[in-house]
Amino acid sequence: MSLRHAILVLLQDQEASGYDLAREFANSIGLVWNATHQQIYLELGKLNDQRMVNFRHVPQEGKPDKKLYSITEEGRQELIRWLRKPAGPARIRDAFMVKVAGGELADTQTLINELELLAKQRRERLATFEALAKKLDEQGREQNLFSYLTVRRGILDQRAWLQWAEEVRQSLHTDLANASAT
């Protein structure tokens, strides 16, 4: 696992609410990750019980009050401990790839439609990440080195997927053409 460690990494830079974290998970680290708010709130609760984070109440006008969490010294120690031990292999879970693998049973047109939808989402993400990378680069890459590298990971991942999608798209179209020729 390591949702807890991902949260600690994000809190290292700045204090944040559960809601903030959920959004950040959709940007930097979460390019590639994903975590729902329920999971984050739960994990923040546990981290708080274990004294790895603490929070202060911030009343807001117009919006609900929020809890701003910060990392504690104990949290930082835990992070350092975790950083020292080897990371497990990366895991991917790509349902669409499984569909392609089972392509014989699938309806080709349905697959194509889904492919286009997913590709559109990926292209949007790619644009967001490229804009972010550019911004970080202009601000001075060295100051933001680790954020910059994280965003690069996201960019390369989107590009690789899109390249694959293009291959799949062409194969599926050929497949359709052959089927209608019969």
Partner DNA sequence: AGTGCTTATACAACGGATTGCGCAGCGCTT
Partner DNA sequence: AAGCGCTGCGCAATCCGTTGTATAAGCACT
Please report, as ranges, the residues that interact with its own copies according to CB under 8 A: 2, 5-6, 8-9, 12, 28-29, 32-34, 76, 79-80, 83-84, 86-107, 110, 114, 117-118, 121, 145-147, 149-150, 152-153, 156-157, 159-161, 163-164, 167-168, 171, 175
CA distance 34 to 23: 10
Asked if 87 is part of the footprint of DNA (rule: CB under 7 A), the reply reads no
CA distance 49 to 51: 5
Asked if 86 is part of the footprint of DNA (rule: CB under 7 A), the reply reads no
For the chain, what is the radius of gyration of the CA atoms? 21
Which residues have C-beta within 8 Å of that of residue 33, sequence separation ≥ 6? 6, 25
End-to-end CA distance of the chain: 50
Q: Which residue has the tokens 């895991």?
A: 91
Beta carbon nearer to its own copies, 50 or 163? 163
Beta carbon nearer to DNA, 62 or 73? 62
Q: Taking a C-beta distance cutoff of 8 angstroms, is the pair 58, 66 a contact?
A: yes
Beta carbon nearer to its own copies, 58 or 109? 109
Beta carbon nearer to its own copies, 65 or 121? 121
Per rule CB under 7 A, count of chain residues that contact DNA: 29
78 contacts which partner out of its own copies, DNA, none, CB within 5 to 8 A by kind? Answer: none
